[in-house]
Amino acid sequence: MIHLWLAGLLRRSPARLLAAAAGIAIAVALVAGLGSFLVTSQATMTTRAAAQVAVDWQVKVAAHRDPAAVLKAVTAAPGTLKALPVGFADSPGLRATTDGTTQETGAAKVLGLPAGYVDTFPLSIRLLTGSLDGPLVAQQTAANLHVAPGDRIEVKRAGSAPYSVHVAGIVELPQADSLFQDVGAPSQSQPVAPPDNVVLLPAPQFANHYHALSRTRPDLVSTQIHVKRDHAALASDPSSAFVAETGAANNLSVRTSGAAIVGNNLGASLDAAREDASYSRILFLFLGAPGALLAGALTAAITQAGAERRRKEQALLRARGSSPTQLLRLVLVEAAVVGVLGALIGLGVAAAIGAATSWPWDLAAALTGLLIAGLVVAIPAARDLRSLAANQGHRQQHRTRPIWLRFGLDLALIALGLAVFWAAGRNKYTLVLAPEGVPTISVSYWAFLAPALAWLGGALLCWRIADTLLVRGRAVVALAATPFLGPLARAVSGMLMRQRRLVARSAVLVALALAFAISTATFNVTYQVQAEVDAQLTNGADVTVTESPGADARPADATKLSSIPGVTAVSPLQHRFAYVGNDLQDLYGIDPAMLTRATTLQDAYFQGATAAESLKRLASRPDAVLVSAETVNDFQLNLGDLIKLRLQDAHTHTYQSVTFHYVGIVNEFPTAPKDSFLVANADYVAQQTGSAAVGTFLVNTNGHDVSAVADRVRAVVGTTGRVGTIRDARGLVGSSLTSVDLGHLTRLELSFALVIAAAAGGLVIGLGLAERRRAIAVATSLGATRRQVRRFGFAEPAFVLVIGTLCGLGSGWGLSYLLVKVLTGVFDPPPTALTVPWLYLSTLVVCTIGAVSVVSVLVIERARRQAPDLLRAI
């Protein structure tokens, strides 16, 4: 009997089986593709977490243990690429005499760096001015002592005479928090702020000054082994990489009998990446999962469209002696065929589009397809088997309004979603926290209830609107349809009212499909645009040439770069350092008229004015300067204030006072740090310092052939400068969150959204019309013209399209707004407005309308031609 049943289904209803299997295939392929995105994004986060660590391990040598033996053990540890010993010493204070005044500081840290340290750990030290060859002082220390390269400072020692050194350069320690961590301290202890005063000495000089003190006061002098680990050997999953790296550190401690105390910076970064990976799961849930649910709903609608025929077939089989158990087996077989066929098609589609997932994700996707088949095919059919009066129940379902509609569940969900959104905003929730400048994730799934509830509430509200119009607004529907249907308008409105549950369900599917597509497309495009803004902010332009310290690059050199094929514009960017009071800050000299030709400035970069207005203010007077918000707050500045900055004279190498006028606030600027910096006119800076030297050239390629243009630029620049591209910066901007590439996810989701929208609009409505083709046949037999039959048949699709499209557009915009607002903390700077992909959305609407129109015409014409046969079958 099962074989006969399957043969009959394949012979009489192949289109319906394939349509149901196609709905399941969409869900399976989408889940498999999302799994691919999840795996890829986690691998990206692992790479990002490892790349941002300056020193992977800081191995502290325990007191009274041999540093040479520990260094040997660290070097021999699996995964170690290089290990260098670094001396640490405490100093009671520093002293310097400059310009006839003497300044002293409190406690300081003195480090002894071996040769090649900066080359091995390039992220640990950033040269601000001077040279790396010799004693170095930290930026804050230089500000406290009022010293510059060439000055002499005195370093005090406990129980010994002080010694003096000549400052070779002033440096920034970007990861001072980890560099001066208390290695071996309990993890629950409070973090200690890095020291304000730091002196870095070459290792021989450090040993000369502290060898004797290390014996008498071992509490003041210690040794650390700084280790560079092999990042290529890390597992792609941040959790697995964290476990392996932590185990390697523990193994080292055991093998050295506790002589090596490991400060595992790489492990800590991977631990944070494990939390960051939850962001990928958020994108999986809130950007992709609705598509899988919608595909399931589409399959349910396709199955439900043939429910009446199925009930009649089941009733006929029962009348011929089939038992309920036999009928249940037939239902399960049909569900299994649909589920297996949909799973196979879905996995094939996922493989064809390049979703290279692991077998667990393939298995999960296939099980998802079988689950959908069970939920939307087997369970409804099994429920019908228990009905004693299937036809009576069918008529009753159109007369009874859903209970949730009477109690206003849709309005309650929307109100609750808005309340959650308001509460999250009121608590100033942000997804990304940056304590001490280290980006970490703070995921609150509670905050994501707002878009989830809004999505569900919007769907139910669409049902309410359609139901209300057909029940209480029949006259309005008839009046609106009169110009198109003429005297058929009232009859059509009555037909729609009797079929209002089917009509409302179709409208909801169209609205959900459009809302999913609109919200996904808008969020993804906004995300990509802001990630690109962040990358350009970090790199400065499409291609950036950073001159080496001491290179004498001139603005005229921009002409040579402009002649390179593929370069559309070049803007020189001065990079100097200026003292604001005692605070040493980055100063950028620009040509306001030329800068925007080479890079893009966002209004969010500035405060109190747009980007164009800020540049206009800067160009309005030669001595104008834009100041960071932090500096404005620290020094209580007001617009128009006269401020005096100390800049280094190119000839005397001394810092001279230069007058500027404060004209605006700048929050972000290409290549600038995120805290304190200044932006001034390059011509004025060159005039006051006696040098027009350029630190950076911003090169615009209009986004085309960036890598090829960069190669040509390298050939011209040679070894005098470092060439960076926006592509290098894209994966290393903001936090590890924005390093997630949504390109694959975007293409996947938008393609499926387009398919789902077209299927929801065309296939579901087409199947609904097919079930009512007898009514079309009756109208044809009563003498209705071809034009009248088409108008009669198009009434339901037109109503569904109007209601579904309007509700879908409204819900899609609202969901996009909620998603972007909830995820605002990811963006740096945050978007000023949503980026709407108009071309895609136009294509989406056109395809949906086109699918509905084509399917409706085919069904109507077939019903009109087969009118006599259909009437004889009644």
DSSP string, 94-160: EEEEETTEEEE-S-EEEEEEPTTHHHHSTTS-EEEEE-SSS-EEEHHHHHHHT--TT-EEEEEETTE
Region class of 649: left (phi > 0), else alpha (psi between -120 and 50), else beta: beta
Residue whose pair of structure tokens reads 């009905």 in the numeric block: 387
Residue 82 buriedness (CB in 10 A; 0-12 / 13-18 / 19+): middle
Q: Contact 207/221 with Cβ under 8 angstroms?
A: no
Q: Write the single-letter amino acid at 867.
A: A
CA 363 → CA 239, 283, 333, 442, distances in Å? 22, 21, 21, 31
In the chain, domain spans: 1-54+272-400, 55-271, 470-539+730-874, 552-719
**In this structure, what token pair is assigned to residue 109?**
């840290």
* CA-closest candidate to residue 662, choices 629, 711, 623, 700: 623
Residue 552 CA from chain centroid, whole number: 40
SS3 at position 823: coil
3-state secondary structure of 718: coil
Q: Are 18 and 293 in contact (CB under 8 A)?
A: no
Instruction: Indicate the residue type of 524.
Output: N
Name residue 428's amino acid.
K
Contact 53, 263 (CB under 8 A): no
CB 574 within 8 A of CB 693: yes
Alpha carbon 371 to its chain's center? 30
Sign of CA dihedral 619, 620, 624, 628: negative
State the virtual CA torsion across 390, 391, 396, 398 in degrees, nearest 10. 110
Whole-angstrom CA distances from 47 to 95, 826, 834 are 43, 18, 30
- The DSSP annotation for 687-698 comes to HHHT----SEEE
Q: Phi/psi at 493 (nearest 5 deg)?
A: -60, -35
The SS3 of residue 839 is helix
Q: Are 466 and 805 in contact (CB under 8 A)?
A: no
What's the gap between Cα 757 and its chain centre?
A: 25
Per residue in 734-789, pLDDT (tens digit) is 444 555 556 666 677 777 777 777 777 776 666 666 656 666 777 677 666 777 67
> Is residue 330 classed exposed, middle or buried when 0-12, 13-18 and 19+ CB atoms within 10 A define those classes?
buried
pLDDT of residue 433: 41
Identify the CA nearest to 871 among candidates 769, 770, 780.
Answer: 780
> How far is residue 546 from each of residues 647, 678, 684, measured CA to CA in Å?
21, 18, 21
Query: How confident is the model at residue 394, as a pLDDT?
Result: 45
Tokens matching residue 482: 């009169």
Query: How many beta carbons lie within 10 A of that of residue 654, not counting itself?
Result: 12
- The per-residue pLDDT for 645 is 92
Gap between the Cα atoms of 694 and 692, Å rounded: 6
Strands 136-138 and 169-172, by their bridges, are parallel
Q: How far apart are CA 165 and CA 199, in angstroms?
A: 10
What distances in angstroms separate CA 51 from CA 121, 266, 270, 635, one per listed residue? 11, 9, 11, 36
Copy the structure tokens of residue 853.
Answer: 């129109």
540: nearest Cα among 590, 585, 610: 590
Question: How would you classify residue 110: left for phi > 0, otherwise alpha for psi between -120 and 50, otherwise beta?
Answer: beta
Query: Which candidate, 87, 83, 59, 65, places its Cα nearest to that of 251?
Result: 59
Can you say whether residue 159 is alpha, beta or left, with left for phi > 0 and alpha for psi between -120 and 50 degrees? left
The residue ranges of DSSP E strands in 581-638, in sequence order, are 583-590, 606-607, 624-628
For the chain, the C-alpha Rg in angstroms (whole number) is 35
Q: Give the list of residues 6+ apart from residue 392 with CB closer than 8 angstroms, or none.
A: none
Nearby residues of 690 by Cβ (< 8 Å), 6 or more positions away: 649, 650, 651
**Is the CB of residue 832 less than 8 Å from the CB of residue 604?**
yes
C-alpha distances in Å from residue 781, one per residue of 158, 487, 768: 110, 18, 21
Q: What is the pLDDT of residue 256?
A: 92
Assigned token pair, 648: 């280094």
| Cα 13 from Cα 773, distance rounded (Å) | 16
Name the burial class of residue 188, with classes exposed (0-12), middle (13-18) and buried (19+) by CB atoms within 10 angstroms of its CB: exposed
Angle in degrees, CA 780, 784, 786, rounded to 5: 85
**CA geometry: angle at 77 spanning 74 and 82, to 5°?**
60
H-run or E-run covering 797: helix 786-822
Residue type, 781: S
Residues of the chain scoring pLDDT < 70: 1-6, 8-13, 15, 185-193, 275-276, 278-288, 305-314, 321, 354-358, 384-401, 424-448, 548-551, 719-720, 728-746, 763-775, 779, 782-784, 788, 822-830, 863, 866-874
- Cα(593)–Cα(574) distance, integer angstroms: 15
The torsion angle over the Cα atoms of residues 753, 759, 762 and 766, rounded to 10 degrees, is -160
Question: What is residue 281's predicted lDDT score, i.e. its pLDDT?
Answer: 66
101-104 and 721-725: which strand pairing? unpaired
Provide the 3-class DSSP secondary structure of residue 504. Answer: helix
Neighbours of 846 (CB within 10 A): 11
Report the distance separating Cα 246 and Cα 2, nearest Å.
58
289 vs 268: CA distance, rounded Å = 31
Residue 829: asked if its preceding bond is cis (omega within 30°), the reply is: yes
3-state secondary structure of 90: strand
**What 3-state DSSP class applies to 92?**
coil
d(CA 746, CA 41): 13
The three-class DSSP label of residue 588 is strand
